[in-house]
Amino acid sequence: MCYIGQSIEKIDGMAITTGEPVYTDDRELSDHLYVHIVRSPHAYARIIDIDVERVKRLPGVELVLTHEDVPATRFTAAGQSFPEPSPYDRRILDAYVRYVGDPVAIIAADSKATAKKAEKLIRVTYDIFDPVLDPKTAIEHKSKVHTEEDLSCHFDFGCRPKQNLAGSYEVGYGDMDHALSECDVVFENEYSTQAQAHAMMETYRSTSHLDEAGRLVVVSATQIPFHVRRITAKALGMEEDQVRVVKPRIGGGFGGKQTMASELYAAIVTLKTGKPARVVFNRKETFSMSSSRHAFHINIKLGATAEGIIKAIDMQALSDTGAYGEHAWTVLMVAGHKSLPLYNQAIAARYQGQVVYTNKMPAGALRGYGVTQAIFAMESAMNELADKLGMDPAELRLKNIIKQGESNPILEGSSESASAKLESCTLNRCIEMGQKKIGWQEKYPRKQISDSKVRGVGMAITMQGSGIAEIDSATAEIVLETSGRYTLKIGATDMGTGCDTILLQMAADALKVDINEIDVLTGDTDEMPYDTGSYASSTTYVTGNAVLRASEDLKKKVLNGENAPVTGSGYFSGDTSPPPFIAGFAEVEVDIDTGHVQVIDYVAAVDCGTVINNNLARIQVEGGLVQGIGMALYEDVQHTSRGHMMTNTFMQYKVPTRKDIQGLQVEFVPSYEPTGPKGAKSIGEVVINTPPPAIAHAIANATGVHVRSLPIGPEGICMGIIKQQSKVALIPDFVQSKC
Amino acid sequence: MDIRTMINEETRTLEVFPGESLAALLRRYGYLEVRTGCDTGSCGLCTVWMDGKPILSCSTLAARAAGHSITTIKGVGKEGENLAKFLVAEGADQCGYCSPGFIMTVLSMKKELKNPTESAIKHYLNGNLCRCTGYEGQTRAIKKWLVSSKGA
Amino acid sequence: MLNMKKYVAPETLQDAWSLYSTNPNNVILGGCAFLRLGKKKIATGIDLCNLGLDYIKDHEDYVEVGAMTKISAFATHKHITQNFKNILPDCVENIVGVSFRNTATIGGSVFGRYGFSDIVTALLALNAEIELYKGGHMTLSRYLKAPPKFDILTAIRIPKDKDGRYHYASMRHSSGDFPMLTTAVCRTDQGYTLSVGARPLRAQKAKKAMAYLNDILKTAEQVGENHLQMASELVCEELSFGSNMRAKEAYRKHLCKVLILRGLKEVSNGH
């Protein structure tokens, strides 16, 4: 049977849906200590004195640690291949606290209640500093978030702590001034995207214990088991082979579990006490003491001829990485790399970015990883440019987008001497499909429904990547057992996406065996082959290719007469990162009296290469679209003027609910990627990028109000409409600020 | 303090702390199918039935279970498993973390609403958050399950 | 869930009151949905669940709702929908979800006097009264302004009007969110009652606007469109609005005018 394209059910589906105890906090752990983290109430301070004597004397408290009790080693919590392109600016506990929630002490006790009681007995004296909260003033701010002498970087990516800079990046080609001089129309504006929370249903949690050989075993809901192993060993001063990481089923990640959030607190307690330890972040901690999407301000300038050929694209980005620099530089870089190549008629394209430290919860990896932010700016600007040109925005795209077979110097795999070629792309057909499905011809730009209701349609396109070229790698093994069954061993990390299942499909298809004859072994660094982990949209492409190579290797060995057990092994690390593409089309209905906006239809036409599992791919798209709708309209990480996060519960941080979603249409327009496993690329991240600009565009078409800052709320729309109607300035630049 | 309650049709005497939630009590006694996702009664993950009606076990005092019957997904037998099969068949299982609480609410909806429209389904289930699926796959699965349940 | 030393579920209101009045750190346990969000250290939690306060009774002139009635039952009960049409189902339909509404109680919603409360806004416009164990009957209006320090809320009474017309509207960002503004408009044989909540302050009647409309009704059968417009503007002038995370003052004021006018049109003149 050909398994490619089949909607095979997830192998863990029944267990996870019927409440089987397969997640981290369900696993049996013999008499263990509860780990509770005491956290800073200040956005920026130095601990002058911390007195834990009364805590130590409280019955039931086994251990309390302060910055004086932990290794002085600095590391990064970023789940990235070594050497990490993130500054080593963290300690397990530090004498400085750099955001409200930054850990101050670790308490291990016989129960949660004891630990909470113990927290009240800690006395801390702080020297409080003026926090850096606005990224726009971070560089000149007199407070410096990182003053430590031992902050280090593996290479120079522009980390300049004395200027509160965590990194800077520039990429581009052509002569911008010359390109602009050839343009008849120039459009320029600034766009802002907010910090977004992952809000995965399972909060952060880990356990740890010592096994019978005295090795440290960390069990964690993590996307990055091998990176956790390495970073844990480094932070605790251990040899890597003395650490084992186990990853059970995960209740959602979206990149949040690509940064270490909880593991070290349990691990250090186990090391110091010899006892098992458990740490479970509650929802407040998960919102406010982990990581979020980087908030961006992007200034973009576009230049085009009167005929609508875009000759110049110039972007300046300012990103806010919060208190620690994990993923700071890479998010900044990817934003430019995976937006500019979309428009291939430009004779000059440039992206310049800086990412700054502020005293807020750190930003980290979140689905889209900078591309989401850049696409909001770029596609919103493209839509406004189309207006200025008097051109249909779909037509503007069709005239300018990169096509299969074209080369672009910013595409992954490009070198100084040669631009990489785009081997697979159906973006033009995606646009046409999307137009058809949304009813673009009949509905563009707007339709008055009643006195108070108006509808508008909008669009946006996007690309992403498939793994990190030359850095992401995976090994897969397939064993033909003596029983005649097969075992597929993979290090990719299924966090609900179903990658265990689709990799199984690929193996079964390649080996030409029934899928039920193969068992999947994964989730244990002792047992599974090395894989960077499931992030950067790498699993289908990178691990998938490794699985196919392992299959071929096994077949060769079997044909050569080797007897079971026979192990086929395959390694893959790509030279390129073939982009998936999406054309997204939104239809909104706006109540022009109140500004209330409802997305009534959304079409995503998707080129992810070959679709391996139709159902799972479709749900990935739908899930990503809804997260994108949330980013467009509802979600917003907000802080007080003293740096306290206000949106640390689901009451205040609003993810879309069922009633907010009225219709999603997903159409696949597959290309065939020659370097991909069976022609597949990726789907995990690209899916979130189009809704924010498409919805902003639809709202602008419906109402004439351009909101250039996310999220777009009814207040901004309503006041924008009033301003238009009265032609009296209410608050200057109101439509440009958050509502 | 001790309370007598019925959990999944089994009468039990359980030791309860005064301020403890029903969710914490259930997990403490090994009913690990009961999951929590928030601290504020906002996500619906912890949904169980009390006397056959869906409630938030994270926002219900454990002591209030005294004299009442509590049902988790492990107590609804084949019907819950059957609905789960439809979710899995649609690919709408994804991370699965929201599923048990979600399934309890759907089963309850089937008891209360006859032939619900899509809008009524969404309204009934609005308190059950899902971050993975985008909801539409779950709705497709429910509709198919409702049709198949009629024929059964 | 709660930082509570002791839990009791008395069998009589007298017992509940005795416990409640002996220690300021003793707390009445109603729905508990919002109580659990606080950090209060509770000495003894006094659960009302055994007091038979979960009921809805249809009297000749009013409907009586026991304080422990769940919000879900409150919204869907035939005594409610037959007498007050859609206003109460409409005001609860956006409150989180079914399981939440099966957990939270009417008494808890009213007792808390929350600014964001859809239910309080609607009950205020319905001229509801509350029943207190010690204090007896009191209008909801008065209770909202000056709640007695120590008492147990046992029931709500909602006066009936066979020709009553009702409208509820709120503005929310996403479904299930706290409202940015809540409005309720009622027209009964007593005239118009208008109530606005989530200003962000708690619900308040717009008395001047009500007086304006009810004066017109003294001499005219109908209220003209221009009167309705004027009334909606009067509401905005007489009530105070503020800014918070969800909305700024100017927008709330604008919303108030729009939603009140829509409500007035709905309940007036056979619209």
Mean pLDDT of chain A: 97
What is the distance between the terminal CA atoms of chain B, rounded to a whole angstrom? 45
Structural contact between residues A186 and A239, judged by C-beta atoms closer than 8 angstroms: no
Burial of A162 per CB tally in 10 Å (0-12, 13-18, 19+): exposed
Of B24, B53, B128, the CB nearest to C97: B128
Per-residue pLDDT at C270 exceeds 90: no
Distances (CA, A) of B11 to A220, B55, B68: 35, 20, 10
Residue A689 has pLDDT above 70, yes or no: yes
Q: What is the DSSP letter of A168?
A: E
Domain stop point among B57, B75, B93: B75
Any CB–CB contact under 8 A between A498 and chain B? Answer: yes
The per-residue pLDDT for range A194-219, each reduced to its tens digit, is: 999 999 999 999 999 999 999 999 99
Instruction: State whether B12 and B64 are in the same domain.
Output: yes
| Judgement on whether residues B37 and B83 belong to the same structural domain of the protein | no
Last residue of a domain, one of B75, B105, B129: B75
Shared domain check, B47 and B83: no
Q: How many residues does chain C have?
A: 271
- Same domain for B60 and B90? no
Query: Is the pLDDT score of C271 beyond 70?
Result: no
CB atoms within 10 A of CB C53: 21
* In a shared domain, residues B44 and B103: no
pLDDT at C64 over 60: yes
Which of B75, B96, B123 lies at the terminal end of a domain, its last residue? B75
Q: How far is B56 from chain C (nearest CA, A)?
A: 6
Decide if pLDDT at A341 tops 60.
yes
Would the pLDDT of C168 be above 70?
A: yes
SS3 A603: strand
Instruction: Write out A612-628 in H/E/C secondary structure.
Output: CEHHHHHHHHHHHHHHH
Q: Do A633 and C173 touch (CB under 8 A)?
A: yes
Mean pLDDT of A673-696: 98
Q: Which long-range contacts (CB under 8 A, 24 or more apart) does B103-106 make?
A: B103/A17, B103/A18, B103/B73, B103/B76, B104/B47, B104/B48, B104/B49, B104/B54, B104/B71, B104/B72, B104/B73, B104/B76, B104/B80, B105/B44, B105/B47, B105/B54, B105/C97, B105/C98, B105/C99, B106/B142, B106/B145
Indicate if B86 and B57 belong to the same structural domain.
Answer: no
pTM confidence score: 0.97
Q: Which subunits count as partners of chain A given 3+ CB pairs below 8 Å?
A: B, C
Residue of C nearest to B21 (CA): C1
Partner-chain contact C98 B61, CB within 8 Å: no
Do B69 and B95 lie in a common domain? no
Q: Average the pLDDT over A696-700 and give the result.
A: 98
Mean pLDDT to the nearest integer, A649-653: 97
pLDDT for residue A733 is more than 70? no
- Which residue is closest to B43 within chain A, CA to CA? A650
CA distances, A181 to each of A184, A302, A311, A378 (Å):
8, 12, 10, 20
Mean of pLDDT values over C59-79: 96
pLDDT of residue C37: 86
Q: Which pLDDT score is estimated for A735?
A: 46
Indicate the CATH number for domain C165-267: 3.30.390.50
Interface test with C, best of A598, A718, A719, A738 (most C CBs within 10 A): A718
pLDDT value of position A737: 42
- Counted domains in chain B: 2
B58, A203 Cβ separation under 8 angstroms: no
Domain that holds residue B67: 2-75
Whose CA is closest to A334, among A314, A347, A344, A319?
A319
What is the per-residue pLDDT across C236-261, written as a single tens digit (0 to 9) for each?
999 999 999 999 999 999 999 999 99
Query: What is the pLDDT at residue A727?
Result: 66
Beta strand spans in A52-98 (E)? 61-65, 96-97
pLDDT digits (tens, 9 = 90+) for A530-550: 999 999 999 999 999 999 999
Domains and CATH numbers, chain A: 30-129+201-288 (3.90.1170.50), 133-194+293-414 (3.30.365.10), 424-466+577-698 (3.30.365.10), 479-568 (3.30.365.10)
Q: What is the mean pLDDT of residues A345-359?
A: 98
Strand boundaries in chain B, DSSP class E: 2-7, 10-15, 47-50, 53-56, 69-71
Å between B24 CA and nearest CA of chain C:
9
Helix axes A714-726, C249-267, angle to 10 degrees: 90
Instruction: Check: CB of residue A239 under 8 Å from CB of residue A248.
Output: no
What does the pLDDT average to over A65-74?
Answer: 98
Q: Where are the alpha helices (DSSP H) in A41-164?
A: 53-57, 112-119
Q: Which residues of A touch C256 (CB under 8 A)?
A: none
pLDDT, average across residues A1-30: 95
CATH for B110: 1.10.150.120
B89 shares its domain with B115? yes
Same domain, B94 and B139: yes
Same domain, B53 and B82: no
Provide the token pair at A110: 């016989």
Considering only CB atoms, A634 lies closest to which of C173, C180, C255, namely C173
pLDDT > 90? residue C31: no
Domain ranges for chain C, please list them.
3-47, 56-159, 165-267
Which residues are A570's β-sheet partners?
A: A476
Out of A17, A23, A649, closest to residue B39 by CB: A649
Out of C3, C98, C175, the one facing B19 most closely (by C-beta) is: C3
Does position A739 have pLDDT exceeding 80, yes or no?
A: no
Question: Looking at chain A from residue 606 to 625, which residues have their Cβ under 8 Å from any Cβ of chain B?
Answer: 613, 615-616, 618-619, 621-625
Cα distance between residue A360 and residue C51, in whole Å: 49
Are B71 and B116 part of one and the same domain?
A: no
What residues of chain B score a pLDDT lower than 50?
Answer: none
Q: What is the pLDDT confidence band of residue C220, given thresholds at 50, 70 and 90?
A: confident
Q: How far apart are CA B91 and CA B130, in angstroms?
A: 14
**Are residues B29 and B85 located together in one domain of the fold?**
no
Range C56-159 has CATH code 3.30.465.10: yes
Q: Is the pLDDT reported for residue A170 higher than 80?
A: yes
Q: Which residues of C touch B124 (CB under 8 A)?
A: 98
A237 pLDDT above the threshold of 90: yes
As a whole number of angstroms, the distance between CA C234 and CA C228 comes to 10
Of B18, B61, B124, the CB nearest to C6: B18
Task: Report ipTM for this prediction.
Answer: 0.98
Exposed / middle / buried, residue A210 (Cβ in 10 Å: 0-12, 13-18, 19+): middle
CB A618 within 8 A of CB B9: no
- Tell me if chain B has a CB within 8 Å of the CB of A203: yes
C251–A730: do the CB atoms touch at under 8 Å? no
| Residue A575: φ, ψ to 5° | -80, -20
Nearest CA in chain B to A494: B95
Q: How many CB atoms lie within 10 A of CB A654?
A: 25
Q: What is the pLDDT of residues A403-415, one digit of tens each?
A: 999 999 999 999 9
Query: Residue A557 has what pLDDT?
Result: 98
